[in-house]
Amino acid sequence: MLYKLLSIAKNTFTETIRQPVYAIIIAAAVFLLFLSPSLSMYTMDDDNKFLRELGLSTVFLAGLFIATFSASIAITEEIETKTILTTLSKPLSRYIFILGKFVGVMAAVILAHYLCTIAMLMTIRHGVMSTARETHDMTIMVSAITIIGLTFTITVFLNYSYDWKFTSTAVILASTFATITIVFLAFIDRDWKFNPAENKINLIDVYASILLLIALFVLTSAALMFSTRFNVLTTLSLCVGLFLLGLVSDYVFGRLANAHLWAKIGKIIIPSLQVFWISDAIYEQTCTISVSYIVSCGIYGLIYTAAFILIAIALFEHRQVG
């Protein structure tokens, strides 16, 4: 059973990162992250705090769209093209199929989130040039150009010489080079000197990324649930709706839960995504994020993830795919 689940997960992960839309969303997110210092310099408040919030928003939205499209491609497209019949014709339980699809899609989401998080950390390290006297952080500039240049050059070579898939190769290489780069930047300051104390990598940004990843677990499981019954466009609409409701769940349902039954039901059904968003900790110096808070959010997200997956299994169990 475990072998079948891992086989489906591996195939789903491979097919997901080979999709052009997967690489396009990552490339668009990274491009917006690199532009964000220029977009953040005209605020009336602390520009770098706004840069952090803008970066987290970009990473979160990129993960949302990747989760939605990946889940839709993993299930809806297989049903529409009838390729799912080949898989289900074998001695394979449908719940194993759903679990394998979730693991594969989630692995692709984690990879994209990891790459975008490194781009965000590099952007925050560079910071906003609020005055004319400030200069670019050349370690960031050179590192970013090196990652892009090496990724593009090697990917083109492998694609031309060995017919490797361009999108998946580029994403894997970019993730590898980005990992090496962020380790390098953790020890080297903007003057190219060994100075780990001035690497400007804030732990709160890492915690924020982890919390957003937990939220993406919930949204990915919801996207998979919707994909068992709806097409790509409907799934995207429902996921965006769930995302927006999740952000205002405490305001819409929480404050009325004690007085109205519909609000209490809404608060239970709709996961509160606000608990994963730490904008208050960014703007208020007194707010801190503890490991215990991340663990409690992880348990909260795990409950909703498990619930959505169980509903997806129930919906798919009697789905006509022939």
Q: How confident is the model at residue 62 (pLDDT cuts 50, 70, 90)?
A: very high
Q: List the one residue out of 155, 105, 102, 115 whose CA is nearest residue 25.
A: 115
Q: What is the pLDDT of residue 37?
A: 84
Instruction: In whole angstroms, give the CA distance from residue 237 to residue 239.
Output: 6
- Three-state DSSP state, 289: coil
Q: What is the pLDDT of residues 12-45, one digit of tens each?
A: 999 999 999 999 999 999 999 988 887 776 665 6
Contact by Cβ (8 Å): 228, 315: yes
What percent of the chain stands above pLDDT 70?
A: 92
pLDDT at 159 over 90: yes
pLDDT at 195 over 80: yes
Q: Any idea what the Cα angle at residue 114 is, between residues 112 and 118, rounded to 5°?
A: 120
pLDDT at 158 over 90: yes
**Which sequence spans correspond to the domains of the chain?**
2-317
Range of lowest pLDDT (82-91, 248-257, 290-299): 82-91
pLDDT at 321 over 90: no
Outline where the chain has alpha helix (H).
2-18, 20-39, 47-71, 77-80, 84-88, 94-126, 138-162, 166-185, 203-227, 232-247, 249-252, 261-269, 279-283, 291-317
